[in-house]
C-alpha cells in the first residue's frame, strides 16, 4: 500500500515512552524515523523483566519501523552533525529532560530559527510554561497530579493507577496529531511551527467530563470501578462463569435488558423508568441485576442480551482479546519481521481499507543503524 507519510523525515530525540510513541505513530504511517539514542541507549530498553532476547517488551512495543542511531550529546562534534541532520528533517520529536537541549543549540527557538520549515514537537511532563515547566515526571506522578488517579477505582478504594500508561500513550498521540497539523500548516504557508504537549495536559483532557460534572453539581463525582456515575446500568456483573459487561446506555436499551432479565415491569417503575431515576437508585437496581446475572453462565447471558440488541460482552484477559477472531480479522496484531514468534500491536488506523504494516523490526541493538548514517557522511541516510 501507499503510505501516507512516505517521504517525511523525522528525528526522534525521545526516550522512555511518550516521545517514542509519537515517533512510532509517524513511522507506522510511512515516515522515515531516525531514533537518536544516547550511547548507553534508551532507558526503556532496561524496563524489565521480562525481556525479549535481552530487550524490554516495553521498548519493543513502541519502536517498530524506526532506525536507531547513537549520538553522544556531550560531544560537540556529534551534536553539530546531529544539527546538520535535523536540517534535512521535516519533524523533530523530543522528550528530553526539560531545559537540557537549549544549552546544546537543540532547543525549539534555536532550531526553528535556523530551519524555518521544521515542525518541532516537544513532549513535557507538566507543560511548556508555568511554575512546573522544568519539573520532570513519569506516568504515575502525572496520573496522580492530573486527578486521574483519584477518579479511578471504586468508592472507598485508595487512589488507583490506570493499568496501562494512558498518559504516555495519549501524549504521544496528541504530539503526532500536532506534528501532522504542523505539516499541513507548512504545506500551506511554507513555514514550520512548534508543537507542545504534556502528560499533565493529557491527564486533564481525559478528565474533561468529570471537570464539567463537578462544575454542574459542585460535588466530586463518585467513583464506580467498572461503572459510570452518569449512566445506569453501565458496568461489570459476575455471571456463574465469570465477569461480563452490560452497557444499557439509554432508556430503550434498558427496556430490552429488563425484558431479558425477567423484569419488564421495571420500565414502568418510577425508580427505573429514566436514566436519571436509575442513577438516583443505582445501588438497589444494580444489586437486583447482579443477583439475576449470577444465576446463569456468561455465554448464556451474552447470547440472550445480544439477541435483543443490548450491548454486552465478556471481560477478556489480554491473550483472549488479542486472539479473538475480531482482532485477527482487523489485522491489528502483526508479526515482527525477522522474529518468528513475536507480534506487536500495529497502528490502530487503516487507510482505504488497509492498515500500515510492521515493515522494520524495533532496533534490537543501540545504534543499530549508525553505519548507515556514517556512510551517508552527514547527509540523511538512504
Cβ 27 vs Cβ 33: under 8 Å: yes
Q: pLDDT, tens digit, for every residue of 65-108?
A: 999 999 999 999 999 999 999 999 999 999 999 989 999 999 99
Average pLDDT over residues 266-293: 96
Residue 203 has a pLDDT of 96
171: Cβ contacts below 8 Å, ≥ 6 apart: 18, 21, 22, 123, 197, 198, 199, 201, 202
Which tens digits make up the pLDDT trace of 168-189? Answer: 999 999 999 999 999 999 999 9
Please tell me what DSSP assigns to residue 96: P
Whether 157 sits among the annotated catalytic residues: the reply is: no
pLDDT per residue as tens digits for the range 24-36: 999 999 999 999 9
Task: Specify the CATH superfamily of domain 9-206+328-376.
Answer: Crotonobetainyl-coa:carnitine coa-transferase; domain 1 (3.40.50.10540)
Contact call for residues 20 and 14 (beta carbons, < 8 A):
yes
What are 50's three cell numbers?
521480562
Predicted local confidence at residue 156, as pLDDT: 85
Q: How far apart are CA 149 and CA 140, in angstroms?
A: 8
Q: Quick one: pLDDT band at residue 226, thresholds 50, 70, 90?
A: confident
Q: Is-same-fold flag (9-206+328-376; 234-315)?
A: no
Mean pLDDT of 320-339: 94
199 confidence band (pLDDT: 50, 70, 90): very high
Contact, 275 vs 245, CB < 8 A? no
Give the pLDDT band (50/70/90) at residue 222: confident
Q: Which CATH architecture has domain 234-315?
A: 2-Layer Sandwich (3.30)
Do the beta carbons of residue 37 and residue 13 sit within 8 Å? no
Lowest mean pLDDT among 30-34, 250-254, 354-358, 372-376: 372-376
Q: What is the pLDDT of residue 214?
A: 83
Q: What is the DSSP letter of 251?
A: H
Instruction: Give CA–CA dist 290/253, Å, rounded.
Output: 17
CA dist 379 → 5, 69, 88, 260, 375 (Å): 20, 13, 8, 67, 9
Of 362, 381, 379, the C-alpha closest to 371 is: 381
| Annotated domain spans of the chain | 9-206+328-376, 234-315
| 3-class secondary structure, 371 | helix
pLDDT at position 1 over 80:
no
- Identify the bridge partners of residue 99 per DSSP, sorted by sequence position: none
Tell me what pLDDT residue 7 has. Answer: 96
Q: What is the pLDDT of residue 304?
A: 97
> In the chain, what is the straight-line distance between the N-terminal and C-terminal CA atoms, in Å?
20
Distance from the Cα of residue 233 to its chain's centroid: 27
Q: Active-site residue among 90, 168, 196, 340? A: 168
Amino acid at each position: 500500500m501507499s503510505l501516507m507519510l512516505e517521504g517525511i523525515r523525522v528525528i526522534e530525540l525521545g526516550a522512555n515512552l511518550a516521545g517514542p510513541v509519537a515517533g512510532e505513530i509517524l513511522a507506522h504511517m510511512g515516515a522515515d524515523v531516525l531514533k537518536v539514542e544516547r550511547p548507553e541507549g534508551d532507558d526503556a530498553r532496561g524496563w524489565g523483566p521480562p525481556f525479549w532476547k535481552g530487550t524490554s517488551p516495553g521498548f519493543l512495543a513502541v519502536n517498530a519501523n524506526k532506525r536507531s542511531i547513537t549520538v553522544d550529546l556531550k560531544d560537540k562534534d556529534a551534536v553539530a552533525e546531529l544539527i546538520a541532520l535535523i536540517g534535512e528533517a521535516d519533524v523533530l520529536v523530543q522528550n528530553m529532560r526539560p531545559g537540557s537541549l537549549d544549552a546544546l543549540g537543540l532547543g525549539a527557538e534555536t532550531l526553528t530559527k535556523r530551519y524555518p520549515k521544521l515542525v518541532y514537537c516537544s513532549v513535557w511532563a507538566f507543560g511548556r510554561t508555568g511554575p512546573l515547566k522544568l519539573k520532570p515526571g513519569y506516568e504515575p506522578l502525572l496520573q496522580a497530579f492530573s486527578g486521574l488517579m483519584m477518579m479511578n477505582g471504586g468508592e472507598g478504594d485508595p487512589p488507583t493507577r490506570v493499568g496501562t500508561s494512558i498518559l504516555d500513550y495519549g501524549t504521544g498521540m496528541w504530539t503526532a496529531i500536532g506534528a501532522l497539523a504542523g505539516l499541513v500548516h507548512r504545506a500551506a504557508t511554507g513555514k514550520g511551527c512548534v508543537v507542545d504537549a504534556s502528560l499533565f495536559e493529557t491527564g486533564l483532557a481525559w478528565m474533561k467530563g468529570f471537570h464539567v460534572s463537578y462544575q454542574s453539581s459542585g460535588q466530586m463525582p463518585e467513583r464506580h470501578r467498572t461503572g459510570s456515575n452518569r449512566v445506569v446500568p453501565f458496568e461489570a456483573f459476575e455471571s456463574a462463569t465469570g465477569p461480563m459487561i452490560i452497557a444499557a446506555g439509554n432508556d430503550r436499551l434498558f427496556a430490552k435488558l429488563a425484558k431479558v432479565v425477567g423484569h419488564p415491569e421495571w420500565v414502568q417503575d418510577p425508580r427505573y423508568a429514566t436514566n436519571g431515576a436509575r442513577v438516583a437508585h443505582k445501588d438497589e437496581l444494580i444489586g437486583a441485576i447482579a443477583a439475576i446475572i449470577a444465576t446463569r453462565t456468561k455465554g448464556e447471558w451474552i447470547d440472550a442480551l445480544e439477541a435483543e440488541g443490548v450491548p454486552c460482552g465478556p471481560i477478556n484477559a489480554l491473550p483472549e482479546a488479542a486472539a479473538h477472531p475480531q482482532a485477527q480479522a482487523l489485522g491489528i496484531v502483526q508479526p515482527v519481521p525477522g522474529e518468528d514468534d513475536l507480534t506487536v500491536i500495529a497502528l490502530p488506523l487503516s487507510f482505504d481499507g488497509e492498515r500500515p504494516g510492521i515493515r522494520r523490526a524495533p532496533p534490537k541493538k543501540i545504534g543499530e543503524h549508525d553505519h548507515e548514517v556514517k556512510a551517508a557522511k552527514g547527509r540523511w541516510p538512504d
